[in-house]
Chain A
Amino acid sequence: MPTFGNGRRVAIIAGVRTPFARSGTALKDYTAIDLGRFAVGELVQRTSLDGAAVDLLVYGTVVQSVMAPNIAREVALMPHFPKTLQAFTVSRACASANQAITDAADQIALGHADVAIAGGSESLTQVPILHSRGMSDILVAASKAKTMSQRVATLARIRPKDFVPITPAIAEPSTGESMGQSADKMAKINGISREAQDRFALRSHQHAARGLDDGRLTAEIAPVPVPPKYDAMLATDNGVRRDSTYEQLSSLKPVFDRQYGTVTAGNASPLTDGASAVLLMSEERAKALGYTPLAYIRSYAYAAVDPAEQLLQAPVLAAPLALSRAGLSLGDIDLVEMHEAFAAQVLSNIQGLASKTWAARAGLSAPVGEVDPERLNVMGGSLSIGHPFGATGARVLTTLCNELSRRGGQFGMLTVCAAGGMGHAMVVERA
């Protein structure tokens, strides 16, 4: 039985997430820490876990809080755990929760931990707004001033333009290109049509709606009370559009390249608030505590491409690596979950996996293979459910494991693309 570590298999016991809400809506008053506490608190309660049994908590986030940079520790200080629960925060763009999960899994495989909680959280409503450079320089100088008159003189240097704040954009520092522009560029390079993108987006909404309605997706969600009145609870993802039609999607205007582009608000994942968490254990500890694991981690891989080329295509390199580490081929995989940042990106990834060119780049003699649409994102994905950057990875893993178990499948694979030209893939197995 292959393991990725030193013989200790890592079990996935359960996953819980908050509902995912379009940013600026139901969860807008919560910080990433608040959201993380909802997900982790419910995970502990729902799994009937003794908080004292947890050795480690790892959490992912992208837009870091200036006031509490290690949000994992803030979450770990919940009353559900002893104050001695150590915790750290990781960041790998949209694969941050995946990074949290593999870090926790590594610690278990190494024998440094037996029980770990991993996941991630993101509030894309409560993002830090920065002062301009000029303003910061003046404020720092003023705080160092020794006398009142010095301070006043320093502050007098502030000019109206200094008050213009800087909002962090979702743009690549290396290329200056926004992620939407990158996706648009990928559609052009790979010849992904507007229609194919819109049809894929529609499929995502329809599948997600079905998963919510029949309870398969809803089962992952911890209801969260809605501020400021708290007179209702959000128990479902509010970005899923049940009534979406192809006609509606096709009528939307391109956002990033108005002249030649094909990426629209309808075939891109929305800015989203939410958090997620999974419970990981060593196989022996799971057995000792009486848990039946959903699945085990069989392998994982990270890869990267030049961000200036095809920013979101690295899953095409990560997937074969994970598969080879698992000793499996794509044909062995019963269920695939691919993170949907953009329809253009998912379709480009699928195309890349089937292409000889990308196979060659991965050092393979033959393509990885064709992804069976019947096994792909069967309950929708980030296009419909939403994409709180730091949380998505644990959402994807939870859905994969739950559905794999429901279907009685043996192997599952997930892929996640991430800013900076990075990609992640993980293979899980049952029993």
Chain B
Amino acid sequence: MMAETRSKGGVEEIIADTETGLSLVVENGVAIITYDQPSSPVNTLNSRVAPVFDRLFTRIEQDAAIAGAVLVSGKSDTWIAGADIEELGRIESAAQGEALSRGGHALLDRLAALKKPVVAAIHGAALGGGLEVALACRYRIATEHAKTVLALPEVQLGLIPGAGGTQRLPRTVGLQAALDMILTGRNIKARKAWQMGLVHELVHPAILRDVAMRRVHDLAAGRPLPVKPRKGSAATVLLEENALGRKLVFRKAREGVLEKTKGKYPAPLAAIDVIQHGYAEGMEAGLREEARVFGELTVSPVSRQLAGIFFATTALKKDNGLPDGVTATPRPVKKIGVLGAGFMGAGITTVAVQAGTQVRLKDASVERLASGWRAVRDVVRERLRKRQITRLQMDDTMSLVGGTTDYRGFANVDLVIEAVFEDLAVKHQVLHEVQSVAPNAIFASNTSTIPIRDIAAAAARPELVVGMHFFSPVHKMPLLEVIVTPETSAETTATVVQYGRQLGKTVIVVQDGAGFYVNRILAPYINEAGRLLDEGARIEEVDAALADFGFPVGPITLLDEVGLDIAGKSGPIMAAAFGDRMLPSETLRRVVESGRLGRKAKNGFYRYDEAGKRQGVDESVYALTPAGASRKTVPASEIQQRCVLPMLNEAVRCLQHGIVRSARDGDIGAIFGIGFPPFLGGPFRHLDTIGLPVALAQLEALNLRFPGRFEPAALLREMANAGRRFHP
């Protein structure tokens, strides 16, 4: 569908490919290539664009009237956001992935080798393949704008850059800077990109195109450019410009990666290998290696799971949280009330003011308000320290926190989130108070233990009552669990789901019930870890086995972090709701009774020094456990099976009873709420991987050894017998 016009007497010649959205216009001897992918909010690189680019390059090369080209985006916020991930998901073999990469190499090698200068005029995000295209251009200009960020985020999807990024980036910005970008995938803001030499010039968006066109002529004429790229420091050059120094850098990078990934994620290590290969054997060999490794990784299980998470979170961003076919218009939320300035209340306030919401933060005393205000400030101040925000932005953010000891100023709040003491009578009291001062406000409880329907029972308008279960620390934990009761209105649900996303959270909607979803599947896991201690397992071995499974920390460490008082409270509630299979371990019960509180009191299963830094296991805990001081070694595989299987089993029960709407939500909730290993894709993906019949058999075997606790969920049995999977 390539339309080509050539107006003989005119000044413009146009090529427009409507299918890909690529077009070329000649202005003052410069070919302006605009990419504006149709019916897509962003520009991605798919298999269809390569031949069109090829054709445009040919035109530029052959037309003597063209001095060079400028590459711009037709989108307002993005330049080129990377490869089409769905297309990557359809790759079936390593060879196919490798071929895709080689195709990209051929195209970008041609771009890099064009005799005429091509200038990347970057406004908006240049990510992954997008940045790789820019790197192949002769010259890069970026706009100094908040939307302009550059990154190679492939490792976050379990991949490595596959269009020359592993080779061109180190040659552009130096080895260490390139390793940092490729191994973390983090976004580089425009100014930083300019400082590190990733782009040559920074301009205001209004003059981007003009300056880019001017640079084409400057480059074509061989004129010296007014702006020189930045050079690295002497130390950087010394370290990177000789083989010995580089060897040191690579070794450090590998150590750093292994410490972070514990060997569970192959992509970062593979990226280091490929970069090193390029240094040793040259660019061409580096590119060939890049393609080979890229191909392997595209079909690797880890990459498939990470892509699955990407698709799930992308889908959740568009989900209104309502049952299929139900729609409701979410109310705008401009001002909220937060009841309780404690740890959670302050945390919720923090994310709310950072999202630009006015917050009425209420507590009983000015002293408690002061500590809450300070907790908010500490988080915001940290962002200033890291230069993520300016001083003015910090002041503006803090100005949105309005501390109060009464309900003045609640008349126009759109939403109230309570984080008061976990006691039903207290919750009822604040609910009454709120409904009298702000009768139309949505009332959300941040409870983690009390069923929302019990709270809503006291409401004049139960349709406005909902649960918003944030995880601690609120500003870091990415999940928000929204809990609805049968009476919660669609508008209420849609509003808190949308607002939760405004706060930067991934939101799953779950049905009411003890522990909701996340804490419910966590309970049997924690209980079983405690039972292993009951039987005489060592604390550090239980933790190590599950950290090795892929959890960020082991369950006993988690107990210390959460606080033993809090953990001790939820155990009996779960047991009361679900019976003996959720009975807390004897060890936890006794340790809680002994008055240990965990890290916050520097007194838990582990020892802590004065500064709160963790030391070793506190061996004196063992005296409190049924097995006493005598300890035995339990194989890691048994620890993993006994703790993880009941978590998976409980997740299936939640799906069976409609607590979670889908396996997708269950996977995301476990990964973002508990830290379930992302490379396993979540409980349901993991069950699919190990095979439902295998999981069923393992549970049944355990249930024989420990009757009751491992009784397989009916849905698991049913699906295993029918040969079905949770995900297609």
Q: Give the B-binding residues of A (Cβ under 8 A).
A: 34, 37-38, 41-42, 44-50, 78-80, 222-223, 225-226, 230-233, 235
Quick one: given A34-B395, A46-B408, are A41 and B402 in contact (CB under 8 Å)? Answer: yes
**Is B412 a contact of A231 with CB atoms below 8 Å?**
no
Chain A positions within 8 Å of B366 at CB level: 223, 233, 235
The prevalent SS among residues of A at the interface is loop
What is the minimal beta-carbon distance from B436 to any residue of chain A, in angstroms?
15
Closest A residue to B358 by beta carbon equals A45
State how many angstroms separate the Cβ of B368 from the closest Cβ of chain A. Answer: 10
Question: Considering the chains assembled together, what is the distance between the CA atoms of A48 and B414 in angstroms?
Answer: 11
Q: Which of A79, A223, A232, A235 contacts B400 (CB 8 A)?
A: A79
Contact present for A223 and B403 (CB under 8 Å): yes
> How many chain B residues touch the partner (CB < 8 A)?
26
Which single member of A47, A50, A79, A230 contacts B409 (CB below 8 Å)?
A47
What's the nearest-Cβ distance from chain B to residue A20, in Å?
16
Q: A35 to B30, alpha carbons, bound, how many Å?
A: 55
Nearest to B412 among chain A residues (CB) is A48
Interface residues as binary, B331-363 with A (CB distance below 8 Å gives 1, 0 otherwise) = 000010000000000000000000010101000
- Whether B704 sits at the interface, judged by CB under 8 Å, is no
Which chain B residues lie closer than 8 Å to A49 at the CB level?
412
Contact A78 to B399, CB < 8 A, known contacts A230-B373, A232-B370: yes
* Inter-chain contact B377/A45, CB cutoff 8 Å: no
Residue of B nearest to A45 (CB): B402
The reply to whether B367 and A232 contact each other, CB–CB distance below 8 Å, is yes
The CA of A44 and the CA of B413, in the complex, are separated in Å by 12
Closest to B357 in A: A79
Partner of B371 from the list A42, A50, A223, A231 (CB cut-off 8 Å) is A231
Across the interface, which residues of A come within 8 angstroms of B360, CB to CB? 45
Given A46-B409, A79-B356, A223-B369, answer yes or no on A231-B399 (Cβ-Cβ < 8 Å).
no
- Selected from A37, A38, A80, A231, the residue in CB contact (under 8 A) with B374 is A231
Report yes or no: A37 in contact with B399, Cβ–Cβ below 8 A. yes
7 contacts between A and B (CB under 8 A): A45-B335, A46-B404, A48-B410, A79-B396, A79-B399, A80-B399, A223-B366
- Compute how far the CA of A222 lies from the CA of B411 in the bound complex, rounded to whole angstroms: 18
Kindly report which residue of chain A lies nearest to residue B368, judged by CB atoms: A233
Q: Which residues of B contact A223 (CB under 8 A)?
A: 366, 369-370, 403
Bound form: Cα–Cα A36–B400 in Å? 14
What residue of chain A has the Cβ atom nearest to residue B381's Cβ?
A: A230
- From B374, B395, B410, A225 is in contact (CB under 8 Å) with B374
List 19 additional contacts besides A48-B412, A223-B370; criterion CB under 8 Å.
A34-B395, A37-B395, A45-B335, A45-B360, A46-B402, A46-B409, A48-B409, A78-B396, A78-B399, A79-B356, A79-B399, A79-B400, A80-B400, A223-B366, A230-B370, A230-B373, A230-B374, A231-B371, A233-B366
Total contacts A to B, CB within 8 angstroms? 63
Q: Tell me the bound Cα distance from A50 to B373 in angstroms.
A: 23
In the assembled complex, the Cα of A48 lies from the Cα of B408 at a distance in Å of: 8
Q: Is there contact, CB below 8 Å, between B402 and A42?
A: yes
Kindly provide the distance from the CB of B394 to the nearest chain A CB, expressed in whole angstroms. Answer: 12
| CA distance in complex: A78, B400 (Å) | 9
What's the Cα separation between A34 and B371 when bound, in Å?
A: 20
Q: Given the complex, which residues of B lie within 8 Å of A230, measured CB to CB?
A: 370, 373-374, 377
Least CB separation from A227: chain B residue: B377
For the complex, give the distance between the alpha carbons of A41 and B395 in Å. 12
Distance between A318 CB and nearest chain B CB, rounded to angstroms = 34
B402 touches A225 (CB 8 A): no
Whole-angstrom CA separation of A230 from B408 in the bound complex: 23
Q: How far is the CA of A226 from the CA of B396 in the complex (A)?
A: 17
A175 to B410, CA, bound (A): 52
Q: Shortest beta-carbon distance, A77 to chain B, in Å?
A: 8
Complex Cα distance, B399 from A63, in Å, reads: 23
Contact with A along B360-398 (1 / 0, CB 8 A): 100000110111011001000000000000000001110
Q: How far is the CB of A13 from chain B (nearest CB, A)?
A: 13
- Bound-state CA distance A260–B399 (Å) is 49
List chain A residues, Cβ under 8 A from B409.
Answer: 45-48
A26 CB to nearest chain B CB (Å): 12
Partner of B403, one of A44, A47, A80, A233: A233
Rounded to whole angstroms, the CA-CA distance of A191 and B181 in the bound complex is: 80
Chain A residues contacting B404 (CB-CB under 8 Å) are: 45-46
Q: How far is the CA of A42 from the CA of B401 in the complex (A)?
A: 9
The 7 A-B residue pairs with the shortest CB-CB distance in the complex, in nearest-first order: A48-B412, A48-B411, A45-B402, A233-B370, A46-B409, A230-B374, A45-B409
Q: How far apart are the CA atoms of A80 and B410 in the complex, in Å?
A: 15
The residue that B373 contacts in the complex, of A34, A42, A78, A225, with Cβ under 8 A, is: A225
CB distance from B372 to the nearest CB of A (A): 10
Closest chain B residue to A78 by CB distance? B399
Question: For residue A46, which residues in chain B have a CB less than 8 angstroms away from its CB?
Answer: 402, 404, 408-409
Q: Give complex CA distance A190, B358 in Å.
A: 53
Cα A46 to Cα B335 with chains together (Å): 12
CA distance A51 to B669 in the complex (A): 37
Measured CA separation A246–B634 after assembly (Å): 80
- What chain B residues lie within 8 Å of A225 (beta carbons)? 370, 373-374, 377
| Nearest Cβ on chain A to B241's Cβ, whole angstroms | 36
User: What residues on B are CB-neighbors of A34 within 8 Å?
Assistant: 395
Q: Which residue of A lies closest to B397 (CB)?
A: A79
Separation of A47 and B402 alpha carbons in the complex (Å): 12
Give complex CA distance A79, B409 in Å: 17
Contact B396 A233 (CB under 8 A): no
**What's the minimum C-beta distance from A229 to chain B, rounded to whole angstroms?**
8
| Chain A residues, Cβ within 8 Å of B369 | 223, 233
Min CB–CB distance B71 → chain A (angstroms) = 34
